[in-house]
Amino acid sequence: MLKRTLVLLPCILLAFACSEGAKSTELPAIEVASQGSGSPTALAITVAKGHEEALSVELAFAAGGTVNGKDSAKSTITPLTFGIGAKVTEVTDRWVRADLEVKELAVAEAPTDAAEMTGYAHAQLRKALDKMPKLSGELVVTPTGQITKLELGADKGLSNQQRQVLEAIRSTVAQLAIPRPTQAAAPAQWATTIGISRNGFGLSQKLEIGIEQDGVVRLSITESPEEGKPATPPGVYADTITVESYQGKGTGEVRLDTARIFPSSAYLELTAATELSIEQA
């Protein structure tokens, strides 16, 4: 039995969004810590059937690691860009249903002075995106931003790089829904926990959220592995993969718009460090 220890050192994800699959029957709870003061502002989504909106996203990744105490080469990819189109197909007092479509998925050329591993990572990703199948699906979200259904693309038949990209897109959509009370006054604060998947890990992401006087919503993010879910990192093949430790955290700023499903603008920054034990016969 061969056992290796793999440490994935801080992996950075930056996401910026602006205008122009999993199912869940259990809504993430919204725990209000402070009601704020003054006149409350409506925060609930109020779109109508037929409403259409677009989301433009830039993602940047930086990753490095250690295998059995030896550092591996680091790579950086920036930016990975794509658009998401949403068209509302049904509205009730309990949910908003929308068709989703991913558009213009691309990655920039690696900088001419980039490290060898960064250049290689860019080249491999560009090849993967050239063969990426069309990505579409459906989102069902409550007026208070709680996702009850998110189906986007399919994992079957995807390469490791394509699967990583698809997970990044899904987690971006999940993170930008922003659960919130129906109304709040600054400086109200609330917290909620959502489930996402990234790089083959099921993660529980706790959001501590506050709205400021200028209308900006600020996020503090902490992550932990979801219990009972196996880790299946793309490209890592082993009989047994055990998550020995995981530390994830981040911050973000968004501007909510009740006439949209997604924020009118958002910026998120996340870092994560993972230690895995890998056993092979």
Higher pLDDT, 237 or 139: 139
Rounding to the nearest 10 degrees, give the CA dihedral for residues 123, 155, 266, 270. Answer: -70
Does pLDDT of 134 surpass 90? yes
Q: Read off the tokens for 253.
A: 């700023």
Nearest to 150 by CA among 186, 203, 197: 197
Q: Read off the tokens for 5.
A: 């220890």
pLDDT tens sequence across 51-103: 999 989 988 877 666 666 666 656 676 688 999 999 999 999 999 999 999 99
Q: Beta 240-255 vs 217-225: how paired, if at all?
A: antiparallel
Average pLDDT over residues 202-225: 91
pTM given for the model: 0.82
Nearest to 121 by CA among 154, 164, 83: 164
pLDDT score of 199: 72
pLDDT score of 234: 66
Helices 160-176 and 116-130: crossing angle in degrees, nearest 10, is: 80
pLDDT score of 75: 63
Residue 49: pLDDT band with limits 50, 70, 90: very high
Residue 155 and residue 30 in contact, taking contact as beta carbons nearer than 8 Å? no
Calculate the CA 150 to chain-centre distance.
12
Average pLDDT over residues 104-133: 80
Higher pLDDT, 25 or 147: 147
Distance CA 188, CA 210 (A): 6
